[in-house]
Amino acid sequence: MPILIIFGAVIVSVLFWLLRAHYTVKQLKEIDQDTKGLQRKAKSVFENLVGTPLQRVNDVSLAAVILMIQIVRTGSPITASEKTRILELMESPLEIQSISATFERAWRYTQERRPFSLVADPLLPLFREKLTEAERMQLVDMLTMVASAHSAPSELQREALVRLKRRLSGGKPALATNRAGNFD
């Protein structure tokens, strides 16, 4: 009989601790949801002060390689022919000295299936600031060559390239800002 009482007490205590842990986790999730807005606000304040990693890129060649990688990673994993085309373009028109290191560095800025515009938009001020109109169009041509290295560019890639070309070739808007966010 005492064994049954001890066994019953152990079962009740285990159930008590399981329910208590479940309730605590549930409360923590509610608190986390309540502070999501504050977390986003703190992140945006930090990004406004420091900038996103893409906004801190100052090398036009690195930025071009980032876009070449992202244009093919937007739709599907990168193929050997696409990688070969990127490496060829890094060597010939871009004249990058350390091709492998630059490719690896640019790869870290990209994400598989991430929308191209989320990568390209933070780099647009750099391209507008440092490239001539002809060099900008050459960049769009290089991106088109990379997108069509394996097969014809997908509709998603074509739309991204058209948008990029339009945003790069467009004149300065009335309220143009520089990379620091100040009005010119």
The owner of tokens 């304040």 is 45
Compute the distance between CA of residue 143 and CA of residue 165 in angstroms, rounded to an integer: 10
Residue 97 tokens read as 């000295």
In this prediction, residue 175 carries a pLDDT of 47
Q: Would you kindly state where each structural domain of the chain is located, as residue ranges? A: 2-50, 60-169
What tokens appear for 30 in the block? Answer: 């509610």
Radius of gyration of the chain from Cα atoms?
25
**CA 105 – CA 88 distance, rounded (Å):** 17
d(CA 68, CA 86): 7
CB hemisphere CA count around 153 (13 angstroms): 20
Q: Answer for the pair 78, 72: CB distance below 8 angstroms, yes or no.
A: yes
* Cα angle 69, 72, 77; round to 5: 100
- Structure confidence at residue 26 (pLDDT): 82
The residue that leads in pLDDT, 146 or 26, is 146
Summarize pLDDT for 93-148 with one digit per residue, the tens: 999 999 999 999 999 999 988 999 999 999 999 999 999 999 999 999 999 999 99
How do residues 66-99 score in pLDDT, each as one tens digit? 999 999 998 788 999 999 999 999 998 999 999 9
Q: pLDDT at position 174, please?
A: 46
Alpha carbons 144 and 105: distance in angstroms, whole number? 22
| Cβ proximity of 68 and 143 under 8 Å | yes
| pLDDT beyond 80 at 13 | yes
113 in Cβ contact with 73 (< 8 Å): yes
How many angstroms separate the first and last alpha carbons of the chain?
87
pLDDT tens column, 146-175: 999 988 898 999 999 999 999 998 755 544
Count of CB atoms within 10 A of residue 36's CB?
Answer: 9
Helix (H) or strand (E) holding 169: helix 155-169
pLDDT given at position 24: 82
In the predicted structure, residue 1 carries a pLDDT above the cut 90: no
Q: CA–CA separation, 184 vs 39, rounded Å?
A: 31
Has residue 32 got a pLDDT over 60?
Answer: yes
Say what the pTM is: 0.68
